[in-house]
Structure 1
C-alpha cells in the first residue's frame, strides 16, 4: 500500500467552531429533581447543559433511562462512550447484568437503545473503551457504531462488530488484514477523516475504515521514545488511570495530537528529570516518520508564571491532562484537583480557570482526567445560546 501524503496544517484563518468540555459522566434527574419535567415521558429524553470551557458541560438524563446512576462498581456507572457531531452514545446499567447502550440525537433530544445483537453472530458488546461512532458518508445524517474484537490473547484483532443507523442492523465484518501487536489496551476510540482510531495510550493506535466490507486494520506507533514496553503479557505494571492522567491523543485543528507529561514515576527513563509537557502531531500515518514534534514546556516554568500564581493553583503539583483545544493545538487543558485550567503551553500562561467536577452527581475526584472529558465541537445549528453582544449564555437545551 502506498504511503499516504503528509497532511498540511489547516489554515489558522478558518473560523473557530464552538466547542464544549463535555463530562463523560451524565447528570441524572430523579422524578422530584429540578429540571425533571423538561425530560418527562413524551417531552424529551435528554437535556444538554452547555457552558464555555473550561467550565464543564453535561448531558442530563432522566432516572427512567438510568435507574442505577449512583452505583460506582467497576464499569457499572453511566457514561458517554462515544461522541459524534450531533450524536452521543452512552452506556447505562438497566439490571444486574443488563448494560444498555443508547444512541442520543441531541438536536431531537431523543435517546434510543441499540437493538439486541443476534446470537448467531457470536459476538457481544464488551464493557471496554473500544466502541466508536462515525458519520456515514454514504447516508447523510446516519452513523456507524463499531467495536473492535481481538483474539483470545488480544495480540491480533480479527473482526468488527458494527451497527448501522441507516439499516438498523448489526453486522460482523472480518478484517482483511491486521497487525500483530502487544496485548492491546482499550483507551478510547475516536473518528477522524472518516476512519475510526482505537487507542492504546502506552503503545499506539489501530485504524481502519469501518465502511469497507473487509476492513484493513493498520497500526500507528506512538512517537519515538513514547512507547511503554514490558516482558510478557502487557505487564507494564502501570495503572491505566495513571497513563490517562499523563497521556492523551486528541484532534485539534483537524490533525491528531499526542500529548504527554514526562518525569512521572512510571517513566523509568526519567528518574530525577524535571516534569514536562510535550506535544507531537501526526503528519504521515503510513510513513516511516509519522509524528512531528511541536513543543515542550517545563512545569517549573509554568508554576513560576504570574498567571499561574494569580490563579491560585498549587505549586509543585503536576496536574492531570484533560484535553486539547480543538481550535488551537497550542492550548492544553489540565485538571488540578476540582479545577480545570487552560494553558498556552508555549507561553506558559494560564488563560482561564474554573471549578470543574466531571462527576457532578457523586462529586468523586477520581474521574478528573482525560478519560472522562471530551472536547465536543457540536455545532448548535441555529440554537446557539448567544446574547446580542456575543457572550454565550449558559442554559439547558
Structure 2
C-alpha cells in the first residue's frame, strides 16, 4: 500500500471507510447479539454488522439482509433496515422500515479491530396525521450539537413542496419547506414549517442526492442546484441556499444531466473542518468533437463564509486526469487510463480524493497529481442489493468516511 500524503498521523483525525451496506448477524430476541463494526485501516473498508433482533420483523424470510448506513458522525451510526423488496440500496421515495442510531462504540475485549455499540436507539416512526413517513434515505441527516461530543444529536429530514418559478411576476413561488427533526432524549419527531430562500430562475422541485453534516448544521445536497442548509437545533431554523461554483456547467440549455452521471462525477464532503465540493468536470467541445478523457479535470472547492453570512466557493486545487495517468505513481498501480468514479474525500487532507475504478479504490493527491493510496487487492464491500431493482452503479453511495469518536480513536491501533 502506498503511503498517504496527509500530515503527520498524530495531528490527523483517526477515521475509517465504512461500507454503506451492512452484514446481518443471525441472533434471537431472547439472546440478542451486538451491533458491531469491523475496523480496518484506510483505504481498506470497515464493515458494520447488524443483529437480526433489532429488525422490524426478526426471523422472517423477507427480513432485510442488507441494512443501509445512512450517515455517521461522533454521535454514532444511523442505519435504515426494512423488509423485502425495500432492502439494501433502496433509494425510492417513502421506503418502509425503521431507523436506528448505534451509539457508544467501544473496542471489544476479544479480537483486534472490532467495535461494539453500547446501545441501539430506535428512532420513532412518523406514521401519524400531518407527519408523513420518511421520503427517502438520501434525504436524511445525522448531526451532533457542537460541544456535546455526540451526546446531543438530531436526525432530520427536509421536504420541499414545489411552487412556481421564483422569478415569476408576483415574486412568489419559492415553494414551502418542512423540517422534520428527531432529537436525542425525546420520543417523537417535531415538524417545523420554513420559508424557502430565493433561487432565481429555478422551480422549487428540490430533490436531495445526499445530506452532509457540518458544525451543527445539515446541508441537503442537490448535485446540480447546490446546497440547502439549516441548523436543526435552532428554535426557528432558517434555510440558506448556496449554488455551486462550477468549473463547467453540469448541463446547458436544452440539456439534462443523467442521474447516474452526476452522482459519479460530483459529491460534497467535509474535510479539515470545512465543506468541500468535488467534481470530475469535462470541458464542452464545439461541434461534433468528442471529449478527450485525459482532459477531464478533478477540482476541489471549499465553501467559505464571509463576515455577513454570505457564502461562496473558493477553488482549493485542481488537476487533469491526463496528468494523473502520466505519473509514475499511477502507472505503478497497473490500472487502465480510464475516467474513475468519485468515492470519498480524506477527512483531514482535503486535496486527497478517493476514486473507484473497476473493483479498486485509490487516493489521489490533486495538488501533486499523484496516487498516494492504493491496495492491489479489490475493495471488499458487502454485495450490494436493491430489492427487485438493479443495484445502482458504484459511487460515493457505497462508502462513507467516518471520523472515529474518542472512545474508538484512542484504540484504533488495533484496527486490522
In the superposition, the TM-score normalised over structure 1's length comes to 0.80
SS at match of 1:178: coil
Note the alpha carbon deviations across 1:147-186, whole angstroms, 9 max, x for none.
0011145963421011111222211011145334443221
Number of the residue aligned with 1:283: 304
* Equivalent of residue 24 in structure 2, options 25, 28, 47: 28
**Corresponding residue for residue 85 of structure 1:** 74
Q: CA separation of 1:306/1:138 partners in 2, compared to 1, >3 Å: closer, same or farther? A: closer
- Greater Cα shift, 365-374 or 140-149: 365-374
Q: In structure 2, which of residues 125, 137, 157 is the aligned counterpart of residue 116 of structure 1?
A: 125
Q: 2:73 touches 2:144 (CA, 8 Å); kept in 1?
A: yes
Secondary structure, in 3 states, of the residue corresponding to 1:169?
coil
- Residue 185 of structure 1 is matched in structure 2 by 207
The corresponding residue for 2:155 is 145
User: Does 2:100 align with 1:102?
Assistant: yes
Consecutive unaligned residues of structure 1, counting only runs of 5 or more, are 1-10, 32-38
1:318 aligns with 2:374: no
Query: Residues 256 and 268 of structure 1: is their aligned pair in 2 closer, same or farther, counting only changes over 3 Å?
Result: farther
The aligned counterpart of 1:196 is 218
Change (3 A) 1:361 1:369: closer
Offset of residue 296 of structure 1: 1.6
- CA deviation profile, 1:239-270 (whole Å, cap 9, x unmatched): 32221111111111111111111128999999
Q: Report the CA distance shift for 1:59/1:184 in structure 2 as closer, same or farther (over 3 A).
A: same
Q: CA deviation at 1:230?
A: 6.2
Q: Does 1:213 align with 2:209?
A: no
Distance 1:42 1:15, change over 3 A: farther
Alignment match, 1:240: 259
Cα distance change of structure 1 residues 60 and 160 upon mapping to structure 2, 3 Å threshold: same
**Pairing partner for 1:62 from 23, 26, 51:** 51
- Secondary structure at the aligned position of 1:318 is classed as coil
Contact 1:70 1:77 in 2 (8 A): no
Taking the aligned partners of 2:77 and 2:162, their CA distance within structure 1 comes to 30
Shift in CA distance, 362/118, structure 1 to aligned 2, threshold 3 Å: closer
Alignment of 1:14-25 (within 5 A): 15-25=11-21
Aligned equivalents of 1:124, 1:266: Cα separation in 2: 45
- Deviation of 1:16 after TM superposition, in Å, equals 0.8
TM-score normalised to structure 2 length: 0.77
Aligned residues: 367
CA, structure 1 residues 378+119, in 2 after alignment: closer, same or farther (shift >3 Å)? same
Matches within 5 A, 1:3-22: 15-22=11-18
User: Could you list the runs of 5+ residues in structure 2 that have no partner in the other structure?
Assistant: 1-6, 86-94, 106-116, 165-173
Residue equivalent to 1:345: 366
Partner of 1:368: 394
Which residue number in structure 2 is paired with residue 359 of structure 1?
Answer: 382
Q: State the alpha-carbon separation in 2 of the partners of residues 313 and 41 from structure 1.
A: 49
Q: Distance in 1 between matches of 2:163 and 2:214?
A: 28
Give the distance between the partners of 1:69 and 1:53, measured in 2 at CA: 35
Match of 1:393 in 2: 415
For the residues of structure 2 that align with 1:265 and 1:163, how far apart are their CA atoms?
Answer: 44
1:115 CA drift (Å)? 1.5
2:20, 2:69 within 8 Å by CA — same for their partners in 1? yes
CA root-mean-square deviation: 3.7
Q: 1:378 aligns with which of 377, 384, 404?
A: 404
Q: Does residue 129 of the first structure (1) align with residue 138 of the second (2)?
A: yes
**8 Å CA contact retained: 1:177, 1:215:** no
Shift of 1:371: 2.0
